[in-house]
Amino acid sequence: MLNVRNHRRTAIAFCFYGFLIGLIFPIFGYSLAAASLKQNPWEVFCLHGNPLLYIIDVLPFITAAIALIFGYRESRLEAFVSDRSRERLEAAERVGKYGSWEMNLDTFEVQWSKGLYKLYGLDPSSEPSYEAFMDIVYPDDRDKVIRATAQIQTEKPETFANDLRIVTRDTRELKHYRSSGAFVADVSTGGQKVIGITHDITEIVEAKEAAIKIERERAQLIALNAMIVTYKHEINTPLAIAMASLGALDADMADDPNIEQTESALWRIAEILRKVDEISAGKEIEFISYANSSTKMIKLD
C-alpha cells in the first residue's frame, strides 16, 4: 500500500512539473521570437495565424493540467479512504482495549497507534521509542522483555506472543498486557519488520487470580473441617472415659469440690464439642470480641 502511494505521489509530481513546463516553454519561446522580431509576445502569438501551432503550444499545458486535476482528485479520495480506515481502527482499538505497533529490530525504531498510546497512558504527541516502552514496563518484567526481544531478533519466529506488566504513565496503574506479533516484509527497506498488537488482559488475569484464591480458601476450609472432626473424635474418647470414671467414684467422694469442678469442666468440654458439631453442619454462628480486642472468637451458649 505504501509503495502504491509513493508511485501515485511521484506521478502527481511529474504532472505538476509537466504543467509548469507546458506553461513556461511556450512563454519562453514567444518571448524569444518577440525579441527577435521586436514585437510584443502576445502579438507574435496572435499573428502567426497557424491553428496547428496553437494546438502544439497549449496541448502540453492542457494535458498536464488535466492530469494534475485527476491526480489531485485521486490523492484526495485516497486520503479520505485512509482517514475513514484510521477512524474505524481507532474505534475498534478503544472498544477492544488493544493497540497496534511496528518495530524495526535493527534500529529499534517503533511506530504506535493511538490505541497503544492510550494503553500505555502516554501522550499521543510524544515520540514513540523502545526506551519509552521499557520505561513503563514493570521493573520485575524488564529482564524478561529484554530476553524475549533478543530471542525474537535471533530466532525470527513466524509468530510470537508474550505477557508482561505495565505501569501506566498517566494513572500509575499496574496492567497486564499480552503482546502478539509476526514478521512481515518491509516494502520501504526491502527487509523485514515486526508488526503486532498489544491487548489489555488485566480483567482476565485478575479473574484467574480470584478463582485461584477462592479455590485455595475452599481447600483451607475443607482442611479446617477435617481437623475439627479429627480433634472432636480424639477429644470425645478420653472425655467419655473421664465422665464414666467420675460416675464410678464412691458416694463419699461425690461431694468433693474438686470432683464437682472436674465434672463441670468436662461438661463444658462436651458443650464446646456440641458447638463444634453445629459449626461443621453449617449452622449460623455469632462472633464476639476477644478480651476487647480486634480478634474475634465464637460466642458459646
Mean pLDDT of the chain: 76
CATH T-level fold of 97-200: Beta-Lactamase (3.30.450)
What are the extents of the domains in the chain?
Answer: 2-91, 97-200, 212-298
Structure confidence by residue, pLDDT tens digits, 67-97: 667 666 666 666 655 656 566 666 666 666 7
Alpha-carbon span 33 to 215, nearest angstrom: 98
Structure confidence by residue, pLDDT tens digits, 234-272: 777 777 777 777 666 655 565 667 777 777 777 877 777
pLDDT of residue 49: 54
Nearest in space to 159 (alpha carbons), one of 188, 129, 179, 137: 179
Residue 146 has pLDDT above 50, yes or no: yes
pLDDT of residue 52: 47
* 142 or 271, greater pLDDT: 142
pLDDT of residue 174: 94
Type and span of the H or E element at 75: helix 51-96
Residue 143 has pLDDT above 50, yes or no: yes
Do the beta carbons of residue 207 and residue 112 sit within 8 Å? Answer: no
Q: Which of 67-71, 119-123, 208-212 has the lowest mean pLDDT?
A: 67-71
* Range 195-217 average pLDDT: 91
Name residue, grid cell 504513565. Answer: 169
Report CA-CA distances (Å) from 37 to 16, 23, 58, 285: 32, 22, 22, 120
Residue 287 has pLDDT above 80, yes or no: no
Q: Tell me what percent of the residues of the chain surpass a pLDDT of 90.
A: 16
Residue 1 has pLDDT above 60, yes or no: no
**Which amino acid makes up residue 255?**
D
Alpha-carbon span 42 to 57, nearest angstrom: 13
Per-residue pLDDT band for 4 (boundaries 50, 70, 90) equals: very low
* Range 132-150 average pLDDT: 92
Residues 6+ apart with CB under 8 A from 177: 119, 163, 164, 165, 166, 198, 199, 200, 201, 202
Q: Tell me what percent of the residues of the chain surpass a pLDDT of 70.
A: 62
